[in-house]
Structure 1
Amino acid sequence: MEIVVGTWNTGKLAEMQQALSKSHPEIQLTGITQYLATKTAPPEIGTSYYENALEKAHFYAKLIQRPVLADDGGLELATFPELLGVHTSRFFKSTTDKEKNQELLALYNTPKLQDLKKRQLTLHACLVYVTPEGQIISAEDSLFGYLVAPKGSGGYGFDSIFYLPDLDKTLAQLTNHKRNALSPRVRALQKIISQIKEQEND
């Protein structure tokens, strides 16, 4: 069974493919690049992760006339709740993961914000599956942690600055298997794949 993923982010697609390789080997996730030669994307103007993911899924499903799985997510900073969230992708002036992480760390470059408790953050993910006929399936998940100086070399995005106190490690310091097990996107993916399969079997 092939499912087209509406993303141009190769790191995100690889994470999702790896996560399903053992739990659902019968599912083949294919990037939108296999169907569209020119990069195109809808404007992310929704007020929630769900609205943005739904917009992307509808956009690509209409273009390629196939069911599409799309996602939206973001980082929420407890100390600066108005800055990121659904606006995460628009917040950054930089393009590389390393530069984006430095932008976040710069927000806390004052003595009163050095306390780890003031650096609490939440990583959210929402996935939406849409068919050309308009059927919709969705799933969400979250992960809580703290912002720290970069540690580790695994993963991508915010993984090197996302610290998990229970494990005393950042996401980037974990094995791929452990990181996937904790990833909100992967956990939401497992939920939505189960729903899609149930629907296919009905």
Structure 2
Amino acid sequence: MTRKLAPGKLVIASHNAGKVREIRALLEPFGIEPVSAGDLGLPEPEETGTTFVENALLKAHASASAAGLPALADDSGLEVAALGGRPGVYTADWAERQWFEGEEGRDWYLAMGKVEGLLAEQGADVDRSARFVCTLALAWPDGHAEVFEGRAEGSLTWPPRGTLGFGYDPVFVPAGNTLTFAEIDPAEKHAISHRADAFAKLVAGVFQEGAFKTSSP
């Protein structure tokens, strides 16, 4: 039986400002009071897992234990078919830390360039299909956890386009679209992203239907 989430504070176990914004927007209709791990000054645990599930659980349990509150962690990444699923769980690692790259300190243009370079090595007819994968782990201070996975299928384009997204969004074109995630209005992206897919499964699993969803304006 899936444990239900009660209204109240929920820690978003992330220091990634882009992820926090997206998760806040997804939680807004449900009466949850999200607070990020960064806002609480919680340390970032070392992501030693080799799968999205392992890393999501690691982060969720760390924040839930430290804050004494339920915590929601996201571990997500880009899987490129022609690269055997890479960068996968190491998606963020491909964006090397740079002092000049703002609050997260990662060079995402460099990461996108690495992917494109490896694809270019395979020739003009290379398979450019890719997917974003998102694993959400919801953990409670007593150690209980629930896990939900979402996907967004698409393909990669070059050069990067758009300024509305983050991470690899400027080179990812979702299936059935001609715009990259970074060119799509955030509200539309929230409806079709891998994070939205995982979040819909989380809502169906842990939110009591109609119990505390706020009305639309």
Higher RCO (C-alpha 8 Å, min separation 6):
2
8 Å CA contact 2:150, 2:199 repeated in 1: no
Query: Match of 1:76, as an amino acid?
Result: E
Partner of 2:101: none
**TM-score normalised by structure 2 residue count:** 0.81
Report what 1:177 is aligned to: 187
The two structures, once aligned, show a CA RMSD in angstroms of: 2.1
The aligned residue for residue 4 of structure 2 is none
Q: CA deviation at 1:45?
A: 2.0
Cα deviation, residue 96, structure 1 = 2.3
Determine whether 1:139 maps to 2:143: no
Structure 1's unaligned 5+ residue stretches are: none
User: Whose helix proportion is higher, 1 or 2?
Assistant: 1
Shift of 1:168: 1.6
Does residue 65 in structure 1 map to residue 74 in structure 2? no
Tell me the distance in 1 between the aligned counterparts of 2:167 and 2:146.
26
Name the counterpart of 1:158. 168
Give the superposition deviation at 1:27: 1.7
What's the counterpart of residue 5 of structure 2? Answer: none
TM-score, length basis structure 1: 0.86
Q: How far apart are 1:166 and its partner, in Å?
A: 1.5
In structure 2, stretches of 5+ residues that fail to align are 1-7, 98-105, 212-217
Q: Tell me, yes or no, if the aligned pair for 1:73 and 1:124 is still in contact at 8 Å.
A: yes
Alignment partner of 1:6 is 2:13: yes
Contact 1:113-1:119 within 8 A present in 2 as well = no
Q: Mean Cα displacement is larger for which, 124-133 or 90-99?
A: 90-99
- Once the two structures are superposed, the pairs formed by residues 1-202 of structure 1 within 5 Å of their partners are 1-21=8-28, 23-24=29-30, 26-36=31-41, 40-81=43-84, 83-93=86-96, 95-110=106-121, 112-115=122-125, 118-149=127-158, 150-198=160-208
Q: How far apart, CA to CA, are the structure 1 residues paired with 2:94 and 2:17?
A: 21
Report which stretch shifted further, 6-15 or 149-158: 149-158
Distance 1:160 1:82, change over 3 A: closer
Match of 1:18, as an amino acid?
A
% identical equivalent positions: 27
Residues 83 and 91 in structure 1, CA contact (< 8 A), matched pair in contact too? no
Contact 2:95–2:107 (CA under 8 A) maintained in structure 1: no
